[in-house]
C-alpha cells in the first residue's frame, strides 16, 4: 500500500478518565494529513471523568473523587497554564491550615468539568463496557458486554482502567504478557475509599479555606466544604474516610457506615445540620505502590498495547495526566515514528 492510500492509524483508548483523555488529546493533536491517527475513547460510565467526579445533591454540587490538584512538573505546568487561560481551572488556596505558598487548583464548576472540556475535541463513547482485549493476526479487537455491539478493531490500544480490571480484560481475550510484566502487574494493589457527601442547612465550622487535609486522621483524611471551594451554591461537604476505616467498613451497608462516623461528623460540622446525604465507594481510589514508570508498553504484537492510568502515574491528578501523556508518546514512538518513549 502506498503512502498516499494508507489509512489512518486506529487507536482505541479504554477509559475516559484524565489519563485516557490526555492520551487522546495528545494523539489528536499529533495527527497530520501525512500520518493520520484515528482515536476512539470508550468508557463504561455514563459520563467521562473517572475520579474527576462531580455530583449534584438537591441544590448542592460536590466533588466526590479528586478534590484539587497541585503542579510539580514542567509538562503539567504548561497544561495548567492553558487551562487557567481558558478559565477552566482557578487557584483555590495555598495550603490547608498552614499557608505554604504552594498553589492548590480547583476546577470551575467541579472537577468533572475539566474532563468534559478535554473530551470536547475527542471521539468518546460512554456506556460501553469493554470485556476483552483480543490479539488478532494483524490488529487488536476490543469486545464489549452487549452482544449486539461489534468489537472495535485497532492498530494500537491504550488501557487506562485500574490494573486489576485491565488484567481481567487481557485474560478474557487470551492476551499473554511476558512473565516479568505479568508478575509486575499482578503485584499491584489499590486503596479503597468511602466518600460521604452531605448537603447542609448552613456552613460548617471548617478553618480557611474551608477544608481539612489530615492523612493520618483515623476517620476523615480529607474534608471539604464545596461552597467555600467555590463550586456549590449551598453548603455541601465531602468527607473522605481514611484508607484504614474505608477498608474496615467497605462491606457494611450505608446505615452502618453513617453510624460509625456519626460522632466525628457532628464534631467536624459544628451546629450545621444534614439536609441530604449520599455515600459513594471508590474500590480503586489509588495505588498503594504505583509502578515506577508512567506507562508500560505491555505488548508490541499485533501492535502497541500500552497500559496507563493512576496505577503508573500515581493517585494524584498530575500523575494521571503524565501517565496519559507518556502513553500517547509511546504510541507515537512505536506506531507512527513520532515522539519519544519514556
Looking at 267, 287, 307, the residue that finishes a domain is 287
Whether 224 is in a domain gets the answer yes
Asked if 204 and 104 sit in the same domain, the reply is yes
Shared-domain flag, residues 153 and 184: yes
| Of 205, 141, 203, 159, nearest in space to 23 by CA | 159
Helix, strand, coil abundance in the chain, percent, nearest 5: 30, 30, 40
pTM: 0.94
Contact 307, 159 (CB under 8 A): yes
pLDDT category of residue 129 using cuts at 50, 70 and 90? very high
pLDDT band at 19 (very low <50, low <70, confident <90, very high): very high
| Under 8 Å between Cβ of 199 and 218 | no
Give yes or no: residues 197 and 277 share one domain.
yes
Q: How open is the CA angle 63-321-66, to the nearest 5 degrees?
A: 15
117: closest CA among 79, 90, 83, 91?
83
The answer on 330 and 207 residing in a single domain is no
Are both 201 and 212 inside the same structural domain?
yes
Q: What is the pLDDT of residues 305-339, one digit of tens each?
A: 999 999 998 889 999 999 999 999 999 998 555 44
For 96-118, what is the mean pLDDT? 94
Residues 63 and 194 in one domain: yes
The 10 Å CB-count burial string (b at 16+, else e) for 63-83 is bbbbbbbebeeeebeebbeeb
Residue 3 is assigned to a structural domain of this protein: no
- The verdict on 273 and 213 lying in the same domain is yes
Domain count, the chain: 2
Do residues 156 and 168 both lie within one domain? yes
Q: Is there a single domain that holds both residue 88 and residue 167?
A: no
**Rounded to an integer, what distance in angstroms lies between the CA atom of residue 129 and that of residue 169?**
10
Residues 283 and 140 in one domain: no
- Structural domain harbouring 72: 54-116+189-287
Residues 172 and 213 grouped into a single domain: no
Cα-Cα-Cα-Cα dihedral sign, residues 10, 40, 66, 287: negative
d(Cα 221, Cα 241) in Å, to the nearest integer? 6
Distance CA 224, CA 213 (A): 9
pLDDT tens per residue across span 221-240: 999 999 999 999 999 999 99
With respect to residue 121, please indicate whether it lies within any of the assigned structural domains. Answer: no
Amino acid at each position: 500500500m502506498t503512502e498516499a492510500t494508507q489509512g489512518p492509524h486506529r487507536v482505541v483508548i479504554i477509559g475516559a478518565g484524565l489519563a485516557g483523555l490526555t492520551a487522546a488529546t495528545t494523539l489528536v493533536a499529533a495527527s497530520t494529513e501525512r500520518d493520520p491517527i484515528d482515536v476512539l475513547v470508550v468508557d463504561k460510565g455514563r459520563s467521562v471523568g473517572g475520579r474527576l467526579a462531580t455530583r449534584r445533591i438537591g441544590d448542592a454540587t460536590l466533588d466526590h473523587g479528586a478534590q484539587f490538584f497541585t503542579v510539580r512538573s514542567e509538562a503539567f505546568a504548561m497544561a495548567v497554564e492553558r487551562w487557567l487561560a481558558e478559565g477552566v481551572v482557578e487557584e483555590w488556596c495555598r495550603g490547608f491550615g498552614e499557608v505554604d505558598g504552594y498553589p492548590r487548583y480547583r476546577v470551575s464548576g467541579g472537577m468533572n468539568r475539566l474532563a468534559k472540556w478535554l473530551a470536547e475535541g475527542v471521539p468518546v463513547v460512554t456506556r460501553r463496557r469493554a470485556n476483552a482485549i483480543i490479539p488478532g493476526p494483524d490488529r487488536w479487537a476490543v469486545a464489549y458486554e452487549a452482544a449486539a455491539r461489534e468489537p472495535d478493531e485497532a492498530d494500537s490500544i491504550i488501557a487506562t482502567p485500574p490494573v486489576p480490571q485491565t488484567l481481567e480484560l487481557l485474560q478474557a481475550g487470551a492476551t499473554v504478557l511476558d512473565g516479568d510484566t505479568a508478575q509486575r502487574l499482578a503485584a499491584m494493589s489499590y486503596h479503597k475509599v468511602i466518600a460521604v457527601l452531605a448537603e447542609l442547612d448552613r456552613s460548617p465550622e471548617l478553618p480557611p479555606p474551608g477544608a481539612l487535609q489530615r492523612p493520618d486522621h483515623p476517620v476523615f483524611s480529607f474534608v471539604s466544604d464545596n461552597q467555600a471551594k467555590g463550586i456549590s451554591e449551598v453548603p455541601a461537604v465531602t468527607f473522605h474516610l481514611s484508607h484504614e476505616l474505608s477498608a474496615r467498613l467497605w462491606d457494611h451497608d450505608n446505615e452502618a457506615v453513617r453510624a460509625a462516623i456519626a460522632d466525628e461528623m457532628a464534631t467536624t460540622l459544628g451546629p450545621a445540620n444534614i439536609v441530604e446525604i449520599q455515600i459513594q465507594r471508590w474500590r480503586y481510589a489509588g495505588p498503594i505502590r504505583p509502578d515506577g514508570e508512567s506507562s508500560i508498553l505491555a505488548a508490541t504484537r499485533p501492535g502497541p498495547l500500552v497500559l496507563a492510568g493512576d496505577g503508573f502515574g500515581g493517585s494524584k491528578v498530575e500523575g494521571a495526566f503524565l501517565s496519559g501523556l507518556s502513553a500517547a508518546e509511546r504510541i507515537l514512538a512505536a506506531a507512527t515514528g513520532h515522539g519519544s518513549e519514556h
